[in-house]
Amino acid sequence: MIVTSTIAAAGMLRALRWPNATVPVEVSEGVLNSSHVHDIHAAMHYLNSLTCLKFVNATQQQYRVVVESSTGCGSLVGHVGVGEYQKLLLGASCFLQKGIVLHELLHVAGLFHEHTRPDRDQYVRVVWTNIRKDKHKNFVVPSWMRKSPDLVNLGLPYDFGSLLHYGLKVFTIDQERPSMVLRRPHEYTGLVGQRDAPSRADVARVNRLYECWNHYLGDDLPGAKAYLVWQAATLTHELSHFHTSDIEI
């Protein structure tokens, strides 16, 4: 039986994807310094080498991602497709660690934060009382995800090492205390919230979302569902159409 919510969630996932698995990006010299422009192109090329999604230089005519300078770092999730372009905000602080630009490009690709997966409460406890009120939204699991966890998790295991997982002290009120706590601390001893490079599961997430069957799909990751099994059970459903504009991270 096909559950309606699964079809709806599959529609949401598909709506996130860039047409033809191509993301046109406009990076204007003059908005950012040349070193930052170089870093953005390097991040685009790096992701291009790992997945079938292609970040390319945009022409003026195309719907595109326009990189703008800002005080912070921020992206919408996936292809919004409203108007002529969508913004990707990258301030100078976003270039202090290699993985920050990559993190934002993974949002552009269509990935949400790992700590807002529908199953995250099994892995982390969110300490709401120690999170700034204006940042609570960054820790909320979208309601549509909760209805179809197997689908939206892309058949891949929870990943503390994801480039899309926040660190455990992000947006805290009392900076001595955490905003998230691991449920089973022995389970993961690495750095949560790394901003170095996409994890293997991050790469697999992009490849599963875009059905890049000839790229790395994460079948060997402990706890992963085999891609073909996951895909048959989920993405191949007839899909409704949904708009996902203005999901801001």
- For position 249 contacting Zn ion by CB under 5 A, the verdict is yes
Give the binding-site size for Zn ion (rule: CB under 5 A): 1
172-to-91, 128, 131, 175, 176 alpha-carbon distances in Å: 21, 9, 5, 5, 8
Query: Measured from the CB of residue 162, what is the shortest distance to Zn ion in angstroms?
Result: 11
Query: Measured from the CB of residue 138, what is the shortest distance to Zn ion in angstroms?
Result: 8
Q: Position 34: which residue type?
A: S
DSSP string, 194-208: --SS--HHHHHHHHH
Return the ∠ at Cα 110 (arms to 63 and 180), rounded to 5°: 140
Q: Which is nearer to Zn ion, 10 or 102 (CB)?
A: 102
Binding segment for Zn ion (CB under 5 A), chosen from 83-91, 119-127, 196-204, 241-249, is 241-249
- For position 247 contacting Zn ion by CB under 5 A, the verdict is no
Q: Which is nearer to Zn ion, 10 or 192 (CB)?
A: 192
Name which of 119, 213, 204 is nearest 154 in CA terms. Answer: 204
Q: Position 207: which residue type?
A: N
Q: Which is nearer to Zn ion, 5 or 93 (CB)?
A: 93
Query: Measured from the CB of residue 22, what is the shortest distance to Zn ion in angstroms?
Result: 22
Please say whether the beta carbons of 244 and 12 come within 8 A. yes
- The number of beta carbons lying within 10 Å of the beta carbon of residue 104 is 23
Positions annotated as catalytic residues are 104
Q: Which is nearer to Zn ion, 8 or 105 (CB)?
A: 105
Query: Measured from the CB of residue 105, what is the shortest distance to Zn ion in angstroms?
Result: 11
Summarize as ranges the residues that interact with Zn ion (CB under 5 A): 249
